Amino acid sequence: MLVLSRKVEDTIRFPELDITIEVVQIKGSMARLGIKAPVEVNILRGELESPTDPPKVKKVLVEAESDHAIRNKLNALTIAASVAKKLIANGQPDIAVEKLDKAINGLGQSVSEYGQTLTALLVEDAANEREMLAGFLRLHGYKVLTVSDGVEAMEHLKAHGKPDLILMDMNMPRLDGPSTIRMIRNNIDFDGVEIFAISGQTPDAAQVDVGKNRIAQWFQKPLSPTDLVSAIKNNEALKEKIARLN
């Protein structure tokens, strides 16, 4: 859990969602917050109930998720932001952040109503980056499991089997990305899993042979989550899996 203490003019940012919360004023037990968000995102006070349309269940590919579902997800997030604002005003910023994290992590849970989706294992040692990227992927309909390094990744794979894809950071403690990828590729039990590498280095600098290790795509930090989702959607092997699932 990420715990934050904020002062006046401090901010809480959700870069993948283009949402920024700024502490404008603190007076006694009351805090005034400014929330900057895209125009399509409604900003609501937590005490106001927001009407929602009845759920429309239909079977479509994840990348064709209905506008209704996307709007419901955005509405859930804005309500969570309003609740967080109230908690910060009451002097409970740690609980506010916990509520926002829970809201982001839960946004992808309703996607099963619209069709089968893919499972991703995200391997990243930086907790904030890991949870924000996981939340962004869940917004796009993927079931995301997270671990903090290569050791945990191998333990997870042995205990739960292979996911559809792995998002692998390169620079991690205990067992780094290149070593973890080599271990995965040397184990026939994990054949067929697509691996996307994420690194601050180029493949040459990281001493990773992309072709030999069958890495679907290499992303250099700073990562564009939108480009990552696009690469996953356009991956031929994963497109075939989606087609079979639906």
Residue 117 pLDDT: 82
Distance, CA of 1 to CA of 98 (rounded, Å):
6
Query: Does 82 score more than 80 pLDDT?
Result: no
Could you tell me the pLDDT band of residue 32, with boundaries at 50, 70 and 90? confident
Could you tell me the pLDDT band of residue 60, with boundaries at 50, 70 and 90? very low
Mean pLDDT to the nearest integer, 86-96: 76
Mean pLDDT to the nearest integer, 102-129: 69
| Contacts (Cβ under 8 Å, ≥6 apart) of 137 | 108, 120, 122, 144, 225, 229
Could you tell me the pLDDT band of residue 1, with boundaries at 50, 70 and 90? very low
Which range has the top average pLDDT, 50-59, 99-108, 129-138? 129-138
- The DSSP code sequence of the chain is -------TT-EEEEGGGTEEEEEEEEETTEEEEEEE--TTS----TTS----PPP------GGG--HHHHHHHHHHHHHHHHHHHHHHHTT-HHHHHHHHHHHHHHTTGGGGGG----EEEEE-S-HHHHHHHHHHHHHTT-EEEEESSHHHHHHHHHHH---SEEEEESS-SSS-HHHHHHHHHT-GGGTT-EEEEEESS-TTTTT--TTTTTEEEEEESSP-HHHHHHHHHH-HHHHHHHHHH-
Mean pLDDT to the nearest integer, 39-66: 49
Could you tell me the pLDDT band of residue 241, with boundaries at 50, 70 and 90? confident
Distance, CA of 95 to CA of 1 (rounded, Å):
10
Task: Express each pLDDT in 145-201 by its tens digit.
Answer: 999 999 999 999 999 999 999 999 999 989 999 999 999 999 999 999 999 999 999
Residue 116 pLDDT: 52
Q: Which residue has the higher pLDDT, 196 or 47?
A: 196
For the chain, give every domain's residue range: 11-110, 116-245
Structural domain 116-245, CATH architecture = 3-Layer(aba) Sandwich (3.40)
> How many CB atoms are located within 10 Å of the residue 78 CB?
19
* Short-list 98, 69, 68, 105, CA closest to 83: 98
Q: Which residue has the higher pLDDT, 97 or 114?
A: 97
Could you tell me the pLDDT band of residue 46, with boundaries at 50, 70 and 90? low
Task: Express each pLDDT in 95-108 by its tens digit.
Answer: 776 766 666 655 54
Query: Does 114 score more than 50 pLDDT?
Result: no
Could you tell me the pLDDT band of residue 75, with boundaries at 50, 70 and 90? low
Residue 197 pLDDT: 96
